Amino acid sequence: MEYRIEHDSLGEMKVPADRLWGAQTQRSLENFPIGDDRMPIEIIRAFAVLKKAAAMANRDLGKLDERRCALISQVCDEILSGALDREFPLSVWQTGSGTQTNMNVNEVIANRGNAIAGETLLHPNDTVNMSQSSNDTFPTAMHVAALASVQGTLVPAIEACIAVLRRLEEENADVIKIGRTHLQDATPLRFSQEISGWRGMLENTKEEIGRSCAFLSALALGGTAVGTGLNAPEGFSSLSARYISQLTGLAFESAPNKFHALTSKDGLVFSHGAIKALAVCMMKIANDVRWLASGPRCGIGEITIPENEPGSSIMPGKVNPTQCESVTMVAVQVMANDTAIGIAASQGNFELNVFMPVLIRNYLHSVRLMGDSIRSFTARCLSGLKANRERMRENLDRSLMLVTCLSPRIGYENAAKAARLAYLEGMTLREAVLRLELLSEEDFDELVRPENMV
């Protein structure tokens, strides 16, 4: 491999000749050979947006000339296109402020820009990092990446799932089935009502996630090292936020309290809490679906779901609810991510939190997993869900909890006696009521109508 010599404040470093990064990136590569978790590409894209916005703000404020601003913008556009992805190799497990990733981006922009210009016009620190610090750029990139991922990936997946659930409600509005509480028979309900409960969960969590996004819109950029804004010109923070909004199509604003923005990560904690709530809801929905689809002969069997692949290497013909299982595993991972995020956010010492890479890695991991799993579950499971109407009717007719509608007429204790007798003797509820002479046949048939109980 051929190398070139780059230098930083600590001295010279050998860097692969065909790479655009510089000495600080190379030091990080050599000092943190830990795992295979690379800084999420969403963070790199967010850095490209903020570096372009910062250059435009510095230009408008008379700090940067038009040519250098244009060069920085051109390279940032290349980064956003994915053309330079291999130039960002750093591990998540680096400095807790994300300084090395900030410098990785600065070095790549400077070296690529200088190559385009054919002369040295950009310096990683003096030009690309002008009016900035890693301590305000990394938290800014976190918020930009988080909000863009939620709005661009997660929310559309939730909305598509809600749409399928609405269709299923309409298709099953006339289906009455037995309800279940404590995993025991309960009173009847419409299958569409059961589905509406699933839909309501997703609608609520979508709203909760939407509310949390307001706390992601506040940007730390302009606070520089400790929140005082040292070396940033007046107006830089608000102007940069305005450009970031234009470049992303999302609403961002300069955080009013930069000291809070640098050291506290409560906005991301709150937002991920809403994502965890979504994971909790998806766990419940997936479990309901696989319970209701259990069988096909010896389970509940009240619904059928698509048969996507063989389920056993030893039992021929077995098909398992694999999409449900995938969703529940993702939910467990998101809950675990939430724990890591909460602990990481609690570690803000004085003017800076130094657990930021692991925090945003887990946040973006959750968004990606939830978005992907909901899309897959919707397309490969919910979209093909069908009610087994015959089995639902059979279970409904056999249920002893239909006796509940008799309580106002014969009293709770007599109703309980009838249900108990039917259970012990293996008879129908109708037969038990008639044996106890609690009602006539005509009265029983008039009172026990499941369609009037929903």
pLDDT in tens, 45-96: 999 999 999 999 999 999 999 999 999 999 999 999 999 999 999 999 999 9
CA gap 355, 347 in Å, rounded: 7
Burial 286-320 (b: 16+ CB within 10 A, else e): bbbbbbbbeeeeeebbbbbbbeeeeeeeeeeeebe
As a whole number of angstroms, the longest Cα–Cα distance in the chain is 102
Q: Is 312 a catalytic residue?
A: yes
**Phi and psi torsions of 15, nearest 5°:** -120, 135
User: In the prediction, which pLDDT does 131 show?
Assistant: 98
Q: Which residues of the chain have pLDDT under 70?
A: none
Tokens 């922009």 identify what position?
109
Q: How many CB atoms lie within 10 A of CB 17?
A: 10
In this structure, the strands spanning 218-219 and 253-254 are parallel
The three-state secondary structure class of 13 is: strand
91: which strand partners? 38
Instruction: Supply angle C-alpha 64, 107, 31, rounded to 5.
Output: 145
User: Could you tell me which residues come within 8 angstroms of residue 274 by beta carbon, excluding any fewer than 6 positions away?
Assistant: 205, 208, 209, 211, 212
User: Could you tell me which residues come within 8 angstroms of residue 66 by beta carbon, excluding any fewer than 6 positions away?
Assistant: 59
**Phi and psi torsions of 115, nearest 5°:** -65, -40
Radius of gyration of the chain (CA): 30
pLDDT in tens, 348-383: 899 999 999 999 999 999 999 999 999 999 999 999
User: Could you tell me which residues come within 8 angstroms of residue 416 by beta carbon, excluding any fewer than 6 positions away?
Assistant: 403
**Phi and psi torsions of 317, nearest 5°:** 85, -5
**Number of helical H runs and strand E runs in the chain:** 17, 10
User: Could you tell me which residues come within 8 angstroms of residue 81 by beta carbon, excluding any fewer than 6 positions away?
Assistant: none
C-alpha distances out from residue 287 to 40, 281, 290, 412, 422, Å = 31, 10, 5, 33, 30
- Cα–Cα nearest to 272, from 173, 154, 429: 154
Q: What's CA 195's distance to the chain center, in Å?
A: 22
- Whether 190 and 176 have beta carbons less than 8 Å apart is answered as yes
209, HSE (Cβ side, Cα atoms, 13 Å): 31
The three-state secondary structure class of 386 is: strand
DSSP at 218: E
Domains belonging to the chain, first-starting first, are 3-130 (1.10.275.10), 142-172+189-389 (1.20.200.10), 399-452 (1.10.40.30)
User: In the prediction, which pLDDT does 1 show?
Assistant: 87
70: which strand partners? none
The three-state secondary structure class of 91 is: strand
CA gap 45, 323 in Å, rounded: 31
The three-state secondary structure class of 394 is: helix
The three-state secondary structure class of 439 is: coil
For 89: left if phi > 0, alpha if psi spans -120 to 50, otherwise beta; the answer is: alpha
What is the pTM assigned to this prediction?
Answer: 0.96
CA gap 69, 72 in Å, rounded: 5
The catalytically annotated residue of 7, 81, 312, 440 is 312
Q: Is 182 a catalytic residue?
A: yes
The three-state secondary structure class of 63 is: coil
Q: What's CA 97's distance to the chain center, in Å?
A: 23
Cis peptide before 316 (omega within 30 of 0): no
pLDDT in tens, 384-407: 999 999 999 999 999 988 889 989
User: In the prediction, which pLDDT does 348 show?
Assistant: 87
For 426: left if phi > 0, alpha if psi spans -120 to 50, otherwise beta; the answer is: left
- Cα–Cα nearest to 234, from 47, 57, 68: 57
CA gap 367, 46 in Å, rounded: 16
CA gap 287, 325 in Å, rounded: 8
- Beta-strand runs (E) in 306-404: 348-349, 352-353, 386-387
CA gap 140, 356 in Å, rounded: 11
